[in-house]
Amino acid sequence: MKKNTLCSENNDVSWKKKRRIIKELVQGQEAATQLKLLLQNPIGDTSLSAEELLGNVLTSFAETLSLLASNHSQEQPCRHDPSPSSADPSDDYSGESHNMKRSNLTPAKKVGRGCYKRRRSADTWTIVSLTADDNYTWRKYGQKQILSSIFPRSYFRCSRKYEEGCRAIKQVQKTQENPVMYETTYTGMHTCKSTPNSNNNVPRLLLNSQNHHHDSKVSNEKDYYPIISPLTPTVTQEHAKEDSPSDVGDHKLDPVWSDLKDFEPSIKPSINLVKNFGMDSVHFGTHDDDDDDEFQPPL
DNA sequence: AATATTTGACCATA
DNA sequence: TATGGTCAAATATT
């Protein structure tokens, strides 16, 4: 069914509006998180100043309140002509463009499809495994044929992105050398309650990782587990739906991963750490991209 | 009907 | 400008 169905107005808060509100809140949360990090580590490499971040937080509140206060019926122009480039931007990032402008600290979004700000590749790590499954719930948002491989790359975001503001994403593609294996590149930590199953199987080849904000020492390998939510203890297990795109299948992982559960957010993998677990392995590293900000558009 | 995926358009970045 | 990352309408699945 199409989203347009929601054109039927006067449900308390329309679906699109909810998404906008959530998005606003997520942005505010992200700004606040970044501000927190900045305050904890003033020499960190955040791209925005504390003032700017604070501004974003406040803007987020303002936007949210405005959305909640506004009249819904105006929010849902029915679209019966879905021409691609006239795509209604009220959704997502572009949503704010109607009457509210973000401060110039965070330039207003452009309108239209594909309008977004590409996130910087901080905090990424790559795993090669027989499976693309990690027992998190992911939502596929794209697939693309890329030049470097004959296999398409699939893009996933955490399915709890809008519920909990979890910003974890991953890219999965078959490896050319061995199409049975999947190379999964994770970006961002899970901040949602969703945690992998303890009887998880394990992706094992950690190929590469990049991390900006922390390079503290790590005491044991548990600390390297990159997938676990840093902010929430294991609560429920949202069993990951499989994420097998057309070319990205998934299999079960082994239990090795389960002892890595106690990952501490503050102890992030340091540079170029390589762990081997049997036939596969994983590799963390540091990506030195100056103004990495792993945050999504301030919008 | 709600939720997830597919797919081409659009945009940011190198 | 080419490439790849993201969006979102259309479509499929639950």
What are the residue boundaries of the structural domains of chain A, listed by start? 3-97, 124-283
pLDDT of residue A163: 78
Condensed to tens digits (0 to 9), the pLDDT of residues A204-234 reads 456 655 554 433 333 333 333 333 333 332 2
Closest nucleotide to residue A147 (Cα to C1')?
C3
How many angstroms separate the CA atoms of A204 and A196, rounded?
A: 15
Protein fold of A124-283: N-terminal domain of TfIIb (2.20.25)
Q: What is the reported pLDDT for A129?
A: 81
**Which residues lie closer than 8 Å to A253 by C-beta, 6 or more apart?**
A129, A130, A131, A133, A134, A135, A200, A201, A202, A203
In 3D space, the residue among A196, A183, A200, A201 whose CA is nearest the CA of residue A127 turns out to be A183
* Confidence (pLDDT) at A86: 32
Q: What is the pLDDT of residue A156?
A: 94
Angstrom distance, A219 CA to C8 C1'? 44
A10 touches strand B (CB under 7 A): no
> Strand C: which bases are under 7 Å from protein Cβ?
3-13
Q: Tell if A5 CB is < 7 Å from nucleic strand B.
A: yes
Query: How long is the CA A91 to C1' C7 vector, in angstroms?
Result: 10
**pLDDT score, position A142:** 92
**pLDDT value for A176:** 84
- What pLDDT score does A143 carry? 94
Spanning CA of A12 to C1' of B11, the rounded length in angstroms is: 34
Q: Which residues contact A110 (CB under 8 A, 6 or more apart)?
A: A94, A97
pLDDT at position A122: 58
Low-confidence ranges of chain A (pLDDT < 50): 1-12, 71-111, 197-204, 212-246, 249-281, 283-299
Which nucleotide in the DNA or RNA is closest to residue A93, CA to C1'?
C7
Q: Is A26 helix (H, G, I), strand (E, B) or coil?
A: helix
Specify whether the CB–CB gap between A171 and A154 falls below 8 A: yes
Q: Which two tokens stand for residue A50?
A: 């504390």
The answer to whether the CB of A197 falls within 8 A of the CB of A237 is yes
Show the tokens assigned to A28: 């505010």
pLDDT digits (tens, 9 = 90+) for A148-182: 888 999 999 988 887 777 888 899 998 888 888 88
Those residues whose C-beta lies under 8 Å from the C-beta of residue A3, and which sit 6 or more positions away, are A15, A16
